[in-house]
A and B are shown apart, each in its own frame.
Chain A
Amino acid sequence: MSFIAKPKVAHPGLPRNELGLTRRDYEGGMSTLCAGCGHDSITAAVIEACWQMSMRPEQLVKLSGIGCSSKTTAYFVSGGHGFNSVHGRMPSIATGAIAANKDLYYIGVSGDGDTLSIGFGQFAHAMRRNLNMLYLIENNGVYGLTKGQFSASADIGSKAKKGEANLQPPIDPVLAALTLGGTFVARSFSGDKEQLVPLIIAGLKHRGFALIDVLSPCVTFNDHEGSTKSYEFVRDNYEEVVHADFIPPAREITAEYAEGDAMPIALHDGSRVLLRKLDPSYDPTHRGKAFNYLRDKLAQNEFVTGLIYIDESSPEFHDMNGTTTTPVNQLSYQQLSPGSKGLEKILARYR
């Protein structure tokens, strides 16, 4: 953290987006995280993505649980809506909000503790429901906020700062997502905005549940030698398999890519994700192959990153539940209230 807020003064040549806003207009409050925390970089990537999308700040809903990671919703897009829920319970709040208003963008920010320990059940069901949201796990392998206990994503043998090694097997959120029906599954690194920013945009545009597991080193409790989530370890064992470029609706795909390497995937609003396969054998639209590839690489201690799996065709939460297309807050009283007769009918169904 810093003791003074980032001053409002900005570079006079900062570019403006379609709304005439600069990146600075998407900032939030002053971060109180440790200096050098990966989470702050992810915040910067979210700011960049929302700016690039020319999102109106009030179009964004920011949801989180508890943890250092979960605090970060306060640090971006202060003009958005926010709900900081209880530990591991962000998905149920998200479900309610999404059910009530399908016109907004939803970002859930969570930690590896918040998601893979106390919130694992909620996480799994949010994915099954294919909630139309972007779910960011800021994954540092520890419970940062409660001073560095191993989390469920800690690798076997990874050492805590005081020296003891983790003995339990880790839960890999990406593998879990592949088995639980996730329709947009990605992994990235806080220190690689070139990869992360387009992933965030594509995830927000994806119709359904988009998971990005972002490796996000904890400088204070998990950045030492022997940790498998330190800046140094992640950089050394980092393999991008599919790079995603986001192409807005109006823009042409420029033919810079070699034939066969680039794979455009159309999103529902006419924009596209252009996948550049860095390993030609890889197929990001085949769930089974993606799963096996990942398992093999994990066994070799490599972090496979990039857009690992994408499926734009599965029905999302609204399709499956027949929810209202008009946001609830725009429905009239008459439409919302069944009237006493209608209420009786509804109640009768439960008798």
Chain B
Amino acid sequence: MQPTDTGNPDYYHRVVDCQWACPAHTDVPEYIRLIAQGQFTQAYLVNRESNVFPGILGRVCDRPCEPACRRGRVEPAPNNEPVAICRLKRVAADHRDDVRPFLPKAPAQKNGRRIACIGAGPASLTVANDLMPLGYDVTIFEKWRTPGGLMRTNIPSFRLPEQVLAEEIGYIIDLGVDLRLGSPVTSMKQLLATGEFDAVFVGSGAPKGKDLKLPGRTDPAAAANIHIGIDWLESVAFDHIKAIGRRVLIIGVGNTAMDCCRTSLRLGASDVKVMARKPRAFFKASEWELEDAEAENVEIVINHAPKAFVIEHGKLAGMLFDLMDYDLDAPLDKGGRIVGERVRGERFIPCDDVILAIGQENAFPWIENDLGIEFDRWHVPKVDATTLQSTRPNVFFGGDAAFGPKNIIWAVEHGHQAAISLHKYCQGLDVNQRPPRGLKLSSRKMGLHEWAYKNDYDPLERRLMPHVDLKERFKKINIEVELGFTAEQAAAEVQRCLNCDVQTVFDARLCIECDACIDICPVDCLTMTVNGTEAEIRQRLKAPTLRATQPLFVSGPLQHTARVMVKDEDVCVHCGLCAERCPTAAWDMQKSKIRIPYASDETSPCSTPQPATRPAPTRRIA
């Protein structure tokens, strides 16, 4: 194999599994270390730079980082739980001091460019967050009387308190954003025709809940008791709906279903069933959301396919389901897929209300079809995946509006990328020329055997989130269920992080091939061997490859024998023992800082961005 190009920022970035998996590339190990040092404000600001809403995301993020966490790969089950990355984000948010002095500010001198954002969800808010400090005038048009998008209208307040939303949205609006609430855009043509804006960002989400066209659905007798999930949650959020029947069926088993069932319990229901067509392994809802719902005694019923709404005595009486059997090509725990299905019988389940939570769709009735903005046959706009530019150069899309429903952190990342594109577009630059990522390495060596990070492996188990008592939590709809980590829990959990960003950096010229590193590595990641193809080298590794998806590091030829040093990055615990044992410092532990570019990294000709300042470290954890 050719020697690994570690100068490519992606190589070391990939080693930091969580940061690589995060759509916005949040520098997770860095903020966890800051929390460990009690520097909560700093930790918050590191988060905010990439994910913009640490307090919100610290509660409700989809957390793609956690399944990626290396911790989940190195320890035997049941201890192989990822670091509670998301919970720690909330720790940073909960314990921060006032961060306003350290946030970027809008310059007094505007740059004369005007951007319209449609919808005040996380995507548009991120665009405003990135462009306001550059001197842009950003106007956000929002249909509702409150900003936040689905975070406000659909995510229930027992998961995400209103005040947390208000605070973090406030940081952005207070940059001087022209927020026009209660102002739905009803015609893109008109908006463009005003000539008021240099470019438009569409962050209007995927607002249409899917309906279930089954017998009985259109019967007016049942209409009042069959609800579209996202519309129903919205009505609850705005206090238009304050009660529901005792027996509720939720159709669908995604995250919306989880919010619907738990909300029902808070509006008077006592018998709530979530009806799933398929077995649990095929559920869309995150495992933790399922657990939270089941902890509240929601029943999850599998292998029931909805067949008809049953109306008796002039009102909804229940639903009829087909009982399903599935053929699998392998057992479920071996990742089996469904290859055939059969109906085994049917079952009637009585209920007072049904909530349909089977998905969302894009809908742009307000975008005229003669504007050069093209859509595909599913009404999804044709948008460039990198630049987020539509087929009309001055119109950009992001968040759920761009590629269908995703989640908040993706909306944020789209916002960042769109901001870069908008900034380039307004300067007349090519939006396809993306600013490159960067890499900075700096040694963490302090003394002979001392490192400027805590390198000892802590075998501690993941801390569990404390919850409000089951009896208490239903008293009001907005009682936040999760209490947040205690100081002790936070102090323990941070030690589980492996510091994957403190990289093992190898210099082949220094190695004397003494074997010390090979012998000491607790997880047998290192091998010295004659060079060959990747397949050959993987055969010769000291411990077997578990996942060939993780990269191998291969050095140049070693001085004495021309063999190569190979490292299987997959299970390295970043303990630094290789570097500690190496007599020549051929291995060194170096902190990698992956530089993720933002719009502010490109200076505009007409303004100088105000750099964000950092607070002096102050607080220590209890």
Contact = CB atoms under 8 A, between A and B. Distances in A.
Contacts of B515: 41, 44, 190-191, 193
B560 interface: yes
B582 A7 contact: no
Interface in B494-526: 512-516, 518-520, 522-525
B102 interface: no
B334 interface: no
B455 interface: yes
Of A10, A11, A231, most B-chain CB atoms within 10 Å: A11
A38 B514 contact: yes
Contact of A235 (B75, B513, B522): B513
Given A2-B449, A40-B516, A232-B512, A7 B583 contact: no
A294 interface: no
B456 A4 contact: yes
B449 A12 contact: no
A219 interface: yes
Interface string A178-207: 000000000000110100000000000000
Interface residues of B, number: 36
A191 B513 CA distance: 7
Chain A interface secondary structure, helix, strand, loop or mixed? loop
B190 interface: no
A4 B575 contact: yes
Interface string B541-583: 0011010000000000000110000000001010101001111
B468 to A, nearest CB: 35
B579 to A, nearest CB: 9
Contacts of B519: 40-41, 43-44
B357 to A, nearest CB: 38
A167 interface: no
Contact of B74 (A12, A36, A43, A236): A12
A32 B389 CA distance: 61
A217 interface: yes
Taking residues whose C-beta sits less than 8 angstroms from the other chain, chain A's interface range is: 20 to 34
Contacts of B518: 44
Contacts of B522: 6-10, 24
Contacts of B525: 11
Given A6-B520, A6-B577, A235-B561, A12 B514 contact: no
B514 A231 contact: yes
B550 to A, nearest CB: 13
Nearest to B79: A9
A231 B581 contact: no
A219 B513 CA distance: 11
Given A7-B456, A35-B516, A14 B573 contact: no
Contacts of A35: 516, 580-583
B514 A4 contact: no
A73 B133 CA distance: 65
A11 B580 contact: no
Given A10-B522, A12-B73, A13-B543, 11 more contacts: A2-B581, A3-B580, A11-B571, A14-B524, A35-B582, A38-B514, A190-B514, A191-B513, A219-B512, A232-B512, A235-B561
Interface of A: 1-4, 6-15, 24, 34-38, 40-41, 43-44, 190-191, 193, 217, 219, 223, 231-232, 235-236
Interface of B: 73-76, 449-450, 455-457, 459, 512-516, 518-520, 522-525, 543-544, 546, 560-561, 571, 573, 575, 577, 580-584
